[in-house]
Amino acid sequence: MSDMNDTQVSRLPQRQNLAPLLVPLVVGGLVAVALGLYGRVHAPTGYAVGPAGFSGPLAMKSWLTTGAFLLALVQVFSALVMWGKIKMDVPWIGTLHRWSGRIAFVLTIPVAFHCLYALGAQFDVARVMVHSLLGCFFYGVFTAKMLALPRRGLPGWTLPLLGGLAFTALTGLWLTSSLWFFTTIGVKL
């Protein structure tokens, strides 16, 4: 017989079922590894891909990454409001969160395409190595977050953790690319 009464038993930490998180984490990990492998084995073309209106591919990548980073700040703010950490009565905050995330992600696609296709994953310069690894990690954790969103029964920390990791990775990407570009090359469109 146990010496604990029902009240004491109910206060014990409950075991959380992490099984629903397994598929998003495995698929996200596979995405990160696949991007890293592709970036390493693919022979970089050196061919610059960039939308019109920019002075060159580095400027395009810097400005699009800056836009994604600013929208990621909106993501953090809107998530804090949605989770009740910032008290605001804003009925459209969920819509703002979803659309700022969608647009931020879309802004990263031409950047990632150029990085992987034209440059590949590089490990000879510390800044570029960190940038390459963060890029793979970002897309892996983003994939895991998107796959975790519709799942029920996940621990309450899942989405804040995955969102925080995506934000951290994007911040690192911005620091190792856009900030470097703006402080080394200069602010150019």
Contacts from 37-43 at CB under 8 Å and sequence distance 24+?
Answer: 38/116, 39/115, 39/116, 39/120, 39/121, 39/132, 39/135, 39/136, 40/120, 40/121, 42/116, 42/117, 42/120, 43/120
Does residue 16 belong to any structural domain of this protein?
A: no
CA–CA separation, 36 vs 125, rounded Å?
A: 16
Does residue 25 belong to any structural domain of this protein?
A: no
Q: Which domain covers residue 110, as residue numbers? A: 57-189
Does residue 33 belong to any structural domain of this protein?
A: no
Does residue 90 belong to any structural domain of this protein?
A: yes
CA–CA separation, 75 vs 3, rounded Å?
A: 48
Q: Are 145 and 101 in contact (CB under 8 A)?
A: no
CA–CA separation, 89 vs 73, rounded Å?
A: 19
Does residue 40 belong to any structural domain of this protein?
A: no
Q: Given a cut of 80, is residue 144 above it in pLDDT?
A: yes
Q: Given a cut of 50, is residue 166 above it in pLDDT?
A: yes
Mean pLDDT of all residues in 149-170: 91
Number of structural domains the chain divides into: 1
pLDDT band at 147 (very low <50, low <70, confident <90, very high): very high
Does residue 46 belong to any structural domain of this protein?
A: no
Mean pLDDT of all residues in 41-59: 78
Residue pLDDT, tens place only, 73-93? 999 999 999 988 999 999 999
pLDDT of 9: 47
pLDDT of 25: 95
pLDDT band at 153 (very low <50, low <70, confident <90, very high): confident
Does residue 9 belong to any structural domain of this protein?
A: no
CA–CA separation, 72 vs 74, rounded Å?
A: 5
**In the numeric block, which tokens belong to residue 108?**
């990263």
Does residue 69 belong to any structural domain of this protein?
A: yes
